Amino acid sequence: MSKEESIGIVDYGGGNIRSLVKAVETLGGAPELITSPSGFEGVDRLLFPGQGAFGDCMRQLRSRRLVDPLRAWIADDRPFFGICVGYQLLFEGSEESPGEAGLGVLEGLVTRFPAGPLKVPHMGWNSAALTHPEGTFWKGLGNAPYFYFVHSYFPDPRDHAVVAATTDYGLPFASAVERGSMIATQFHPEKSQRAGMRLLANFLGAQAPA
């Protein structure tokens, strides 16, 4: 990450982004909050955090006219990092909000954990078995780093080639995807201490904290 690079964080009014802002600042960045289509101009790397229900988040994005700029950004293969609901919204839809279309960047639907002995939401630390641990985004993290999760739903990508990590919580699910310059994770790197900071540093091209 050069000093000339600009980092944008999508702020659609639907989630708490302070921890992500602080993490980027710790890595030497000065993130700009993007709240309108004009905010994408001049930004070099984009992070899209999320918190809340799938349908509510999509309605917020539409009300701020952010849907088309997000799709265009990813279609142009510009550096993009989606987090939690910001990962789920990349897909076509979700069981959480039937009839509400997602961004449709990736084929597949977001599904809920089935009823069973494990508590839902899935909350806490869990490992992510990396598909390509030698990849640029994942360097220095080993084969199965631990990250922090908080979610009741998870995407089921139709194209298994995009799956970058899988996690087991009663059943295996895709906890991360990547395609070109895009990465998205169900877990929260900004809340995942050293491993999360390493992952964010890799995305930003920054030096990870010791």
Which is the catalytic residue, given 57, 122, 178, 190? Answer: 190
Encoded tokens for 131: 């598909």
Q: Is 190 a catalytic residue?
A: yes
Sheet containing strand 129-130, strands side by side:
32-34, 7-10, 45-48, 80-83, 182-185, 172-179, 163-168, 129-130
Name the DSSP letter for residue 114: P
Distance CA 135, CA 162 (A): 13
Which is the catalytic residue, given 122, 151, 178, 188? Answer: 188
Q: Which of 27, 22, 196 is nearest to 125 (CA)?
A: 196
Task: Let me know: does 184 contact 90? Beta carbons within 8 Å.
Answer: yes
E-only strand ranges, 84-171: 93-94, 108-112, 122-127, 129-130, 146-151, 153-157, 163-168
Distance CA 34, CA 19 (A): 16
Tell me how far CA of residue 101 lies from CA of 6, 32, 56, 58, 90, in angstroms.
30, 27, 11, 8, 10
Which is the catalytic residue, given 57, 84, 122, 178? Answer: 84
Q: Which residues form the catalytic set?
A: 84, 188, 190
